[in-house]
Amino acid sequence: MTMGRNHAARGRFARLRRCAATICAVVSLSLLTAGCFDRQELEQQAFVTSIAIDKAPDGMVDCTFRIALPVNTAGGSSSTGKDPQAGTTPVTYRARSITEAMALANTSVERVLTFTHLTSVLIGEDLAREGISQQLQPLVRYREFRRTVMLAIAKGKARDFLLSDQPMLERSPARMADALVQVGDSSGLIPGDRLHDFLTALENPHEDPVASLVAVNAAVQQDPQGKSGIQGDNVSYDAGSIRRAGGNPVEWAGTAVFQGDKLVGYLNARETILLQLLRGRLRRTKLEFPDPQDPTKTVGLILRRERSPQYDIRLSDPLRVTVRVPLDVDLTSTEVKTDYTLPGNREYLERQLTHMMEQEMEALLIKLERQYRADVVPISRQGRPKFATYQQFAAYRWEEKLPDAQYQVQPDLHIRRFGVQFGPVQNRAGNLPAGNISAESSGNAVQR
């Protein structure tokens, strides 16, 4: 009996010894594998939020970095004593590549540059026209660059955009690019494509990429307070020449169109809205059209996407492309006395608006495919189901067929709502709104 107790005690001691040895081994391994010898505190890093790349002489590039100041969360201010939300003055370095400029930056920036918080990449117009695939290589391979950053093309120098940028609401430069993408998604004034979208279109056969268009408004830059008023007597949708006074000297409106990796042309803000509708990427936007009863007055609309656009592509000679764009419409403003809530008037207005939008969309497709020879919709992707194999699709000569193709756009507009006031405004004299549009007027109006 005594021998049995001793044997049991030795067994418990052996198990305790094995358990202690296991704990010691785990602790030793944790000490060997975990460590903070290579850590970097916030005060040791310089967070780059924006990069501007411009063409320089002799095949070099000028890289401009906008650096944010890290915030001390305990004290609520930056370690430098400056406004923690404001970025530093952009600094520019001339080098043979972006990678070399990143290395040269630490010759004057006293902290290690970090690109994990990069939100936007701007490329100057001159460099974009020569091709940007070489400049995009470091953005794809370098681990700290994310493919979700916003890519934009600046009219003139990209550096001038960063130097002139004075946000009205956003104090943080890191949030500026995210705000612009959100504005593009909700209004359609810019495509809002990110670096990933650009690279995907560049790598896919027969497709061409687009990028958001930004510019400096010279009139606003010269008169920041807007004391001299608005210059010009017409409406402009072009970036850099929007008719306005005061505010941020820079503006974002329109699309930069690429053929491959080379910039070939621009679309203004109104054309960009139509392009986004054709691409099926815009859910809601605002547009105005001339009133069919009086072209000097306008009709304000809110357009909502009912369904994605439907493409019918016939591989004939010439190629035939038919696009149906179903849209749900809110009538938000009218300047004439015609009561468009009446069924006959509403149908007449729908036909006229459909005709005007059809003309604009067809003109846009012809401009893209024949003038720029760039498939940015892309129509070729919509025709992929026509081929049995990927090899057949890749071998099809879309670049030769699309410029000579016949295009027909069929916007399908349905006016469903009329705002918070059902009928037009009446004046004090008691003038009633006009009734049904006469058959003669309606018939003449719908003729093409």
Q: How confident is the model at residue 439 (pLDDT cuts 50, 70, 90)?
A: very low
Q: Are 155 and 125 in contact (CB under 8 A)?
A: yes
What is d(CA 439, CA 448) in angstroms, rounded to the nearest whole number?
Answer: 16
Compute the average pLDDT of residues 172-197.
84
Bridge partners of 310, per DSSP, are 324
Query: At 18, is the pLDDT very low, low, confident or very high (cuts 50, 70, 90)?
Result: confident
Rounded mean pLDDT of the chain? 84
pLDDT, residue 85, reads 45
Distance CA 48, CA 157 (A): 19
338: β partners: 434
The pair phi, psi for residue 403, each rounded to 5°, is -60, -30
What φ, ψ does residue 378 adopt, rounded to 5°?
A: -95, 140
Q: What is the rounded CA–CA span in Å between residue 114 and residue 120?
A: 14
> pLDDT tens digit string along 126-169?
999 999 988 888 888 887 888 888 999 999 999 999 999 888 88
pLDDT given at position 445: 44
- Copy the structure tokens of residue 277: 């509708």
- Mean pLDDT for 350-369 is 96
- CA-nearest of 175, 156, 158 to 167 is 175
Q: Which amino acid is at 143?
A: R
- The stretches of 188-290 forming alpha helices (DSSP H) are 195-203, 218-222, 269-279
pLDDT higher for 144 or 407?
Answer: 407
Mean pLDDT of 263-285: 94
Query: What is the mean predicted confidence (pLDDT) over 250-267?
Result: 95
Give the Cα separation of 183 and 374 in Å (integer). 25
The predicted structure's pLDDT at residue 446: 39
Q: How far apart are CA 61 and CA 406, in angstroms?
A: 42
Write out pLDDT tens, residues 54-72.
Answer: 999 999 999 999 988 766 5
User: What per-residue confidence (pLDDT) applies to 54?
Assistant: 95
Q: Binning pLDDT at 50, 70 and 90, where does residue 112 land?
A: confident
pLDDT at 56: 94
The pLDDT value given to residue 39: 62
**Average pLDDT of span 309-335:** 93
Q: How far apart are CA 301 and CA 316, in angstroms?
A: 37
Confidence of residue 204 (pLDDT cuts 50, 70, 90): very high
pLDDT digits (tens, 9 = 90+) for 20-49: 778 777 666 665 555 555 566 667 788 888
Task: Give the pLDDT confidence score for residue 447 in this predicted structure.
Answer: 36
What pLDDT does residue 132 have?
Answer: 92
Confidence at residue 84, expressed as pLDDT on a 0 to 100 scale: 45
